[in-house]
Structure 1
Amino acid sequence: MQKGSRIHYETTGRKSPRCALGVVLDIVRRYLPPQLVLAGFCLFLPGWLALQAESLSEAQIKAAYLYNFAKFVEWPAEVLPPGADILLCVVGNNVLDGELQALDGRKAGERTLRFVQHGHADPNLSSCHLLFFGSSEQQHFVVTLKALRDAPVLTLSDIEDFAEKGGGISLLFRDNKVVFEVNLEPIRNARLHLPGQLLNIAATVYGR
């Protein structure tokens, strides 16, 4: 999909009973595509409302997915103690048209997201909580994943074979929509926990 192109989403306007009340967070109002709510996120986000149809970029939708992963993935307590910020690290240039950088300072539940730019050879990547590899890292990501070993880092990318080759979550554009794949092996090795509802709406789950 070319940079700047848009995707049109429509919804029936019917609200799931479990998603009918509450206040939509600013980040959701800006980013979240309606059918993401209807497809299953509403099962564990009772405060979200079905949104009116709107046009969003591929980059915005991928950023919305990542934002929700930040909210609902669980890290070991010693890695992310109560009140600590979530470090959203990025490797690569011009990643998702700057949409991830726009998440800096956003609330993810009771925590705050902090954006940090890194190079693929940076020795401090293991201190990240989420680590997104831009498409420019196609030739480096496997080596970087091996260097991280079992560090408690949720790795993500929109590189096509990222999850299949050992990354945690791939965000992919298929059939005119954004979907995601999950590889449970690196996520278990990192001692992270993903809610079952999230896995239920993944396009592919490796290592079940």
Structure 2
Amino acid sequence: MAFSPSTFYFAPPDPSARVKAVFIYNFSKYVEWKEANRAGAFTIGVLGTSSVINELTTITTGKSVGSQKIEIKAFATLADVKKCHILFVPADNATPIPSIITKIKGNNTLLVTEKDGYVKQGAIINFVIQSNKQKFELSKNNAEKASLKVSQSLVTLSIPVD
């Protein structure tokens, strides 16, 4: 049996997933975590399934945040979520934001979402599309509640919510 190149269909990569992954990785450069969280691996978690996981893995291979090697972790459910520096919650994840915040409270975690209204519910950064461009909302108040220091450069690039 012969196969031609058109025999198999491979889904094209999701360009928005790559853009979000780049943003998420770059957020690590503009946020300061507590001293206690600057040792060991720098963990970026994704709650649920998302093509962002693969993109993050590709983008961060061999990279570090300061002296911390980056690890990407996928968490199937909220119960699986372990301490991480950044937690990304895709739009199709149905876990209520207040439940996620309760789970990560006190962990010094940057919560990144992509659903309208999530910053008002406690997320720190929320992806939005504005004028056909990927942008992000930022809540400095929510960052302070999570004991995170956000650089003025990141605030300038964001759509401030408070």
State the TM-score, normalized to the length of structure 1: 0.64
Q: What are the residue-to-residue correspondences of 1:6-25 with 2, within 5 Å?
A: none
Runs of 5+ unmatched residues, structure 2 = 1-10
What residue is the counterpart of 2:71 in the other structure? 114
CA contact (8 A) 2:46 2:53 kept: no
Q: What are the residue-to-residue correspondences of 1:183-194 with 2, within 5 Å?
A: 183-194=139-150
C-alpha displacement at 1:164, in angstroms? Answer: 2.2
**Percent identity for Structure 1 against Structure 2:** 19
1:71 and 2:26 correspond: no
CA contact (8 A) 2:78 2:95 kept: no
Runs of 5+ unmatched residues, structure 1 = 7-56
Distance 1:154 1:200, change over 3 A: same
Residue deviations 1:51-105, cap 9 Å, x none? xxxxxx2221111111111123111111223xx3210111011243731232443
Tell me the distance in 1 between the aligned counterparts of 2:101 and 2:78: 11
What residue is the counterpart of 1:59 in the other structure? 17
Bigger relative contact order, structure 1 or 2 (CA pairs below 8 A, ≥6 apart): 2
C-alpha displacement at 1:167, in angstroms? Answer: 0.4
Q: What are the residue-to-residue correspondences of 1:96-135 with 2, within 5 Å?
A: 96=52, 98-110=54-66, 111-122=68-79, 124-125=81-82, 127-135=83-91
After superposition, the CA RMSD in angstroms is 2.4
Distance 1:151 1:109, change over 3 A: closer
CA contact (8 A) 2:84 2:109 kept: yes
Q: How many residues were matched structurally?
A: 151
CA contact (8 A) 2:78 2:100 kept: yes
Q: What are the residue-to-residue correspondences of 1:166-185 with 2, within 5 Å?
A: 166-185=122-141
